[in-house]
Amino acid sequence: MQAPAHAPSSEAGEAHRAGAGSALAERTFHALGTDIRVLGRGGDLVEAEMMRLASLLTRFEPSALTALNECGMAIDPPEELASSLRHALAVAEETDGLVTPLVLPALRWAGYRAGWPAPARPSTGAPPEIADWRDVSLTTSEIRLPVGAEVDLGGTGKSWIAERCFALLEGEALLDAGGDLISRSSTAVAIDLAHPFEGEPLQIVLPPGRWGVATSGVLARAWQGGHHLIDPRTARPADTRFVQATAVHPDLRRAEVATKLALLTAERSAAVLDAAIVVAFDRSGAPWRLGDDGRWRPA
C-alpha cells in the first residue's frame, strides 16, 4: 500500500474519554508512514502484525504487492494480499469504480513515485488510462491484472490493516493510525477533529461501543501541481469541493470509503449515507455535515 493517503494523526485529532475509566496500557510506534498509538491489552501483538502486513503490502519496497505489479500476476499469493485486494475490488464495485485500487500508474504520473515526502512534479502529456477494475481476476490460487495495470491499495488497504490489527486487542481499546482511528469503550469518547487550516478543532462525541473514525484530505499529501487523491474519471488529482472529510462508522473500512466519496463527489451516495457521521471542510475552512437526506449543511 502507499504511504498513508491520510494526513498525520494530528489531522484526526486527539481522542479522549468523556467519562471516567481506568488507565489503559499505551504503546506507540511508527508504521504505514505514520505514528501509531495503541491503548489496551495486546499492543505488542498489534505492532508486530502491523509491521508484517505493511511489509507485504507496501509499494515502496520489495513486497508481495510489488511482485504482483511487476509480473501482472501472482500464483498462490499470500492470503493477506488476496484478502486486501478482494476488499479493494469490493469497494470499487460498490462505488462504480470511483474508488479503485488500479490508480498507481496515474499516481506516478501525478508525481507520487517515491515514498513520502519525496513527490515530484507531474509528468507532461496526458495521464495514463486507469484500467477497469472488473478486468482483475482474483481466485483462491491466483491474481491476474489487466495489461498495464498496477495496484495501490491506498486508504482501503490502510483501513483493512487497522481493522485486522485491532482484532488483536482485548477489552476496551483504541488504535490511532494517523487519520484512521478505532475505539471500543464502555464510556463516550470525544474526538477533536483538527481544522485543515489550523482553525478551531471540531469535536464529535462517540457513544459507548465500537467505532471507526476515518479522516482523508487533499492538503497533507500534496505538492506543486498535484496531490495523492486520484479521480479515476480523469486519471488526475481530484478537483474537490472539500479539502478534508471525516466519517464515523462501526467498521473503519466503511468510514474510509465514505471519506473518499465525500471528497470525490458531493452527490448522494449509499456508501456515504451508510456512515453515522460525515463531516467535511471546504476550501474556505467552513465545516459541513451530511444529513440523512444526502444534503450538506453547515456544521
3-state secondary structure 156-186: HHHHHHHHHHHCCCEEEEEEECCCEEEEEEC
What pLDDT is attached to residue 68?
Answer: 98
Task: Provide CB contacts within 8 A for 52, sequence distance 6+.
Answer: none
CA pair distance 299, 290, nearest whole angstrom:
9
Find how far residue 131's CA is from the centre of its chain.
Answer: 21
Whole-model pTM?
0.90
The answer to whether the beta carbons of residues 173 and 189 sit under 8 Å apart is no
The answer to whether the beta carbons of residues 65 and 59 sit under 8 Å apart is yes
Find how far residue 239's CA is from the centre of its chain.
Answer: 19
What pLDDT is attached to residue 9?
Answer: 35
CA pair distance 6, 244, nearest whole angstrom:
9
| DSSP, res 62 | S
What pLDDT is attached to residue 179?
Answer: 82
CA pair distance 232, 107, nearest whole angstrom:
11
Return the domain boundaries, the chain: 9-242
What pLDDT is attached to residue 134?
Answer: 98
DSSP calls for 243-264: EEEEEEESSHHHHHHHHHHHHH
pLDDT tens, per residue, the chain with 299 residues: 433 333 333 345 555 444 334 589 999 999 998 999 999 999 999 999 999 999 999 999 999 999 999 999 999 999 999 999 999 999 999 999 999 999 999 999 998 877 666 667 778 889 999 999 999 999 989 999 999 999 999 999 999 999 999 999 999 999 999 889 999 999 999 989 899 998 999 898 999 999 999 999 999 888 888 889 999 999 999 999 999 999 999 999 999 999 999 999 855 555 566 778 899 999 999 999 988 877 899 98
Beta carbons within 10 angstroms of residue 81's beta carbon: 23
Beta carbons within 10 angstroms of residue 243's beta carbon: 20
CATH of 9-242, one of 3.90.190.20, 3.10.520.10, 3.40.50.300, 3.90.1300.10: 3.10.520.10
